Amino acid sequence: KSNFLIKKKVFVPTGTSELLIDACEKIIKTKKKILDLGCGSGVVGISIAKRLKTKQKIYFSDISKEACQNTKLNCDKMKINHVIKQGSLLSPWEGSIFDYIVSDVAAVAEDVSKISPWYKGCINNSGYDGTKHILNIIANVKGYLSKNGKFIFPIISLSNEKKILAECKKNFKKIKMIKNQIFPLPKSMTKKIKFLDSLKKKGVISFDKKFGIIVFKTTVYSLTK
């Protein structure tokens, strides 16, 4: 991450981004067409290209103009062969087919994101339970995948996991858990524990208390067409 330039108004990579990159390393093979969806600063796609030691084109898109410009800066800096398009979710890629689509599109309950340190200066309009964008992608992504193409994405327990997994089952036969990790809730958020507890009771989010620390979980899944 240290070599990456992160501009204002662009999402700063988190432990989830890191986990997603590690999971991708386990399953992505070279000479395959890769899309980094919701690319932010390009960290995920560029890291995959670096680890694969590939000169092939990597495809990127984001709804944010600043994010697309930031990705271009990083691709040029790190000599990554790239195609970058600006647009919402899968809309820039009508008619395109990929072997791997990796998504780090915002998927944390909106009210939780507002009290988190993760979305400073950038917008997360992922809906009350954090599922708005990801459900849309899961419902439509098959049309953008090659025959054995894979969609790789994280589910954070600070969103409605059950709802997201139900949509996965509705659209894909093969659902595989690749990696998961427990993260401590940022200290600034623990001050709002009453509010978080109320969302947990409603089934909007989930988290645990371990050794007096509040923790949430990120799980990376791969869905195969």
Average pLDDT (184-199) is 93
More confident residue, 129 or 107: 129
What is the C-alpha separation between 140 and 144, in angstroms, rounded? Answer: 8
Which of 45-49, 103-107, 190-194 is the least confident region? 103-107
Q: Helix or strand or coil: residue 32?
A: coil
- Of the CA atoms within 13 Å of residue 193, those in its CB half-sphere come to 13
pLDDT score at 2? 58
Give the range among 22-31, 106-115, 151-160, 184-193 with minimum mean pLDDT: 106-115
12 or 137, higher pLDDT: 137
Distance of CA 173 to the CA centre of its chain: 21
Residue that wins the pLDDT comparison between 118 and 206: 206
Residue closest to 92 by CA, chosen among 127, 48, 59: 59
Q: pTM score, two decimals? A: 0.94
The mean pLDDT of the chain is: 93
Question: Dihedral through CA 111, CA 165, CA 33, CA 90, nearest 10?
Answer: -50
pLDDT of residue 105 exceeding 70:
yes
> Does position 149 have pLDDT exceeding 60, yes or no?
yes
